[in-house]
């Protein structure tokens, strides 16, 4: 199983940008579809974005489409989430996850078998 560690979360003003990183160890990330999820206080975890194992296809939640970009560098065993035009409602703990499904771009958390510990993103108004 792959181990995942997120970083890059911090306090930022509305309209600002952040880049989250997810570093993997234990296995090569090229074997996995990768996703980002988030969970705000008192709310259920929700899908944010996912990227195919080759990085050629992506899928986004409607709430972040046009503002967030998921990317990956399999040579560095890393996945990224570039977040622009941040809003207070983007405040959450952001999690990186790996799915060993080789086809499709799953949005359900149950499709992902490995999870990081999360990184806090706080957007002030």
pLDDT score, position 57: 96
Residue 39 backbone dihedrals phi, psi, to 5 degrees: -140, 120
Query: What residues contact residue 86 under an 8 Å CB cut-off, 6+ apart?
Result: 12, 13, 14, 15, 16, 17, 18, 67, 121, 123
Tens-digit pLDDT profile for residues 14-68: 999 999 999 999 988 888 999 999 999 999 999 999 999 999 999 999 999 999 9
Q: How many CB atoms lie within 10 A of CB 23?
A: 16
**At residue 121, does pLDDT exceed 90?**
yes
**Mean pLDDT estimate for the chain:** 96
């Amino acid at each position: 199983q792959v181990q995942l560690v997120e970083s890059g979360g911090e306090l930022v003003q509305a309209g600002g940008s952040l880049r989250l990183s997810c570093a993997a160890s234990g296995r090569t990330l090229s074997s996995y579809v990768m996703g980002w999820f988030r969970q705000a206080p008192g709310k259920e975890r929700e899908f944010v974005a996912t990227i195919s194992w080759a990085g050629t296809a992506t899928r986004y939640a409607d709430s972040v489409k046009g503002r967030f970009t998921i990317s990956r560098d399999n040579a560095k065993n890393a996945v990224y989430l570039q977040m622009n035009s941040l809003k207070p409602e983007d405040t959450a703990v952001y999690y990186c996850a790996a799915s060993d499904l080789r086809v499709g771009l799953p949005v359900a958390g149950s499709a992902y078998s490995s999870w990081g510990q999360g990184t806090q993103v706080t957007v002030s108004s």
